[in-house]
A and B are shown apart, each in its own frame.
Chain A
Amino acid sequence: QKEVEQNSGPLSVPEGAIASLNCTYSDRGSQSFFWYRQYSGKSPELIMSIYSNGDKEDGRFTAQLNKASQYVSLLIRDSQPSDSATYLCAVGRMDSSYKLIFGSGTRLLVRP
């Protein structure tokens, strides 16, 4: 079992729809959770951080965290073609290693 799992996709949604991206993790001691966006040929860009159970909203993005079920999700409202990218989920601890464990990413395709 991978430490951080994501569906590789592609997830295809029409423009204006809500895109829902999911991530599960295996380490129950994980305490910090991040979503990164990576365009083809570019480096990852941080879009959301979440540390507590529940929802966190930032513009069109909402991150959701459920530690009991060990999953974190990202919702993108009013999806735009410019949102087409690979979305990486990353998980970390705050008591030991500095490393973040990255999922392999979900490719999102927003159709005009």
Chain B
Amino acid sequence: GAVVSQHPSWVICKSGTSVKIECRSLDFQATTMFWYRQFPKQSLMLMATSNEGSKATYEQGVEKDKFLINHASLTLSTLTVTSAHPEDSSFYICSAQTGLGQPQHFGDGTRLSIL
């Protein structure tokens, strides 16, 4: 149980392109979903928290106009990296949670490379 699917797993695109990443909870309803970014050999960095039907809460320093998050249903959240540049290249990981105090279940991550 508690399977989270994330697509695509790998994206290479040109600078200036917008990229959408999907995160789905397959066998449970997620009250809250999270988006993380991780650079090589560094810690997970929380970018934003999203609840179904409401605006995402972004962490300090994360540009909400650049990283658009939509949480349309209890099983789907999307992250769109708008006008991506090489410095946005990273490993993006989503997670989903069923409620307060519950564990987060992670997707397999999306490796984004901007040329």
Contact = CB atoms under 8 A, between A and B. Distances in A.
A101 to B, nearest CB: 9
Consensus secondary structure, chain B interface: loop
Contacts of B31: 98
Contacts of B68: none
A98 B49 contact: yes
The interface centre, meaning the residue of A43, A46, A100 with most chain B CB atoms within 10 A of its CB, is A43
A98 B31 CA distance: 10
A3 interface: no
Interface residues of B, number: 22
Interface in A77-112: 88, 90, 92-96, 98-100, 102-105
Contacts of B103: 32, 34, 46, 49, 90, 100
A54 to B, nearest CB: 18
Nearest to B100: A94
A26 interface: no
Consensus secondary structure, chain A interface: loop
Given A32-B101, A49-B103, A95-B100, A42 B46 contact: no
Interface of A: 31-32, 34, 36, 41-46, 49, 51, 88, 90, 92-96, 98-100, 102-105
Given A32-B102, A43-B108, A99-B34, 4 more contacts: A42-B109, A44-B93, A46-B104, A88-B44
14 contacts: A31-B101, A41-B91, A43-B93, A43-B107, A90-B103, A93-B100, A94-B100, A94-B101, A95-B100, A98-B32, A98-B49, A98-B51, A100-B104, A102-B43
